[in-house]
Amino acid sequence: MSAPVFKLVPGCQSYDWGKRGQASLAAQLASKSVPGFKVDESKPYAELWMGTHPTLPSKLEDGPLCSELLKSNPHLTGESVTSAFPDSKEGSLPFLFKVLSIGTALSIQAHPDKSLAERLHKERPDVYKDPNHKPEMAIALTPFLAFLNFLPLPLVLLHLLTVPELEPLISQSLVDELAATLTLPSTRPADPFLFQPTASSPNHAQKEALKKVFGALMSAPTDKVQKSISELVQRYKSKTDIAESEQDLVDLAIMLDEQYPGDVGVLCVFLLNVVELKKGEAAFLGADMPHAYISGDIIECMATSDNVVRAGLTPKLRDVDTLVSMLTYEAGPGSKQLLQPTKFGTDDSTLLYDPPIDEFSVLKLNLDGGATTSHRAIAGPSLCIVTEGSGSVGWGEGDGEVAFEKGDVLFVAADKVMEWKAAGDKLELFRAFVEAAK
């Protein structure tokens, strides 16, 4: 019978947007947990993958796939999870756990809900590799910048009336339609005082108007888009005629154009919230929500899927029609996407990040050197990544204990109380788990 805790070998993905060489946290961690891994300073290292996704499944230290062990030892997964998630009977975990190191912006994207994912996979399996949805959560390890969903609609309208480079791309009739749904003026110059952000969700007419505006922008002719961006960047670099509502977006627009010259995604600074998360802050991204990670290092957890619908800031395949049609067009302050952690257990060492979906939750464990804590038995499997320090974990059965250090990845079986101890320095560890509702 397998021990309830054992180390895993993750995989490291090299995508162009990753940080290069040792600057990548994903590479730093992989150099500890992946045998024979050598960091190439000229190569981008974007993601450390932990889980059973067939694209890059985790393995045991002696070679077999983690999924093979779980299939032959269902007690490691736990009865409640194998009942709730049928694929887990075959050794699949319902979540994929990652560390991302973001050097340049990722694409403007969204992830399909379950029904759309099934249809896209059936129609285009070469592009959409699996039939699963992909809700995801990001926890900042360093300052983390991202686009998160649409701005409050009065601010979108203000940008449409203030930024002259948008006029050739989005017709006045669409601007008028959005303004009418908000009972705001569509005349220029706009009075910023009238365009105050709202926290309430948009109604159906407002969503339809936003959909038309976003669709017009994302499907605008490439030559017109490139001309508008060139004029925008020139205006920003010359620091002339910049409205107050644009001030905070100048550096970001210039940076995105340097990374993806002339790409329509540069203009999404005027439609999407730009949010900076501090270390430890988290955001939850449900299905059909536009977003893009811009910079920083994060922990990411998601349902086991690799389905992405892209439309900007990318050299990869764009599926603009699908993206425009699938979005919910919810809008509001970026803070609406933030997820507040709660205390887990009897002390303050562990925080629980618990998004409103079934497939995963994440614990963040912080212990000072020499300190200890325990986690109650969790009725499902866990994956852990050590991001700082070293320590050990025991499970109260004789002398059972596993020592670990920064970069180690652990599997923790279901239904076991875990005793955690930090060694001589501060310990930080993230534990993703699934626990089926009883």
Residue with tokens 């194998």: 82
Closest CA to 107 of 217, 334, 259: 259
Q: What share of the chain is helix, strand, coil (3-state, %, to 5)?
A: 30, 30, 40
Distance of CA 50 to the CA centre of its chain: 15
Radius of gyration, alpha carbons of the chain: 23
Burial class (CB in 10 A: 0-12, 13-18, 19+), 86: exposed
Strand partners, 404: 391
Residue with tokens 């393995």: 59
Q: How far apart are CA 110 and CA 98, in angstroms?
A: 18
Q: What are phi and psi of 338, to 5 degrees?
A: -75, 145
Residue with tokens 């005027």: 270
Torsion angle, alpha carbons of 339, 259, 308, 120, to 10: 150
Distance of CA 131 to the CA centre of its chain: 19
| DSSP reduced 3-state for 239 | coil
Q: How far apart are CA 396 and CA 378, in angstroms?
A: 15
Query: One of 235, 310, 318, 431 is an active-site residue; which one?
Result: 310
| CA angle centred on 252, ends 247 and 257, rounded to 5° | 125
Tokens of 412: 């923790």
Closest CA to 53 of 103, 95, 116: 95
Q: How far apart are CA 164 and CA 240, in angstroms?
A: 13
Q: How far apart are CA 312 and CA 317, in angstroms?
A: 9
Distance of CA 36 to the CA centre of its chain: 28
Contact 414, 381 (CB under 8 A): yes
Closest CA to 308 of 331, 282, 289: 289
| CA angle centred on 226, ends 221 and 231, rounded to 5° | 130
124 is catalytic: no
Q: How far apart are CA 312 and CA 108, in angstroms?
A: 5
According to DSSP, the β-strands at 427-433 and 382-388 are antiparallel
Catalytic positions: 310
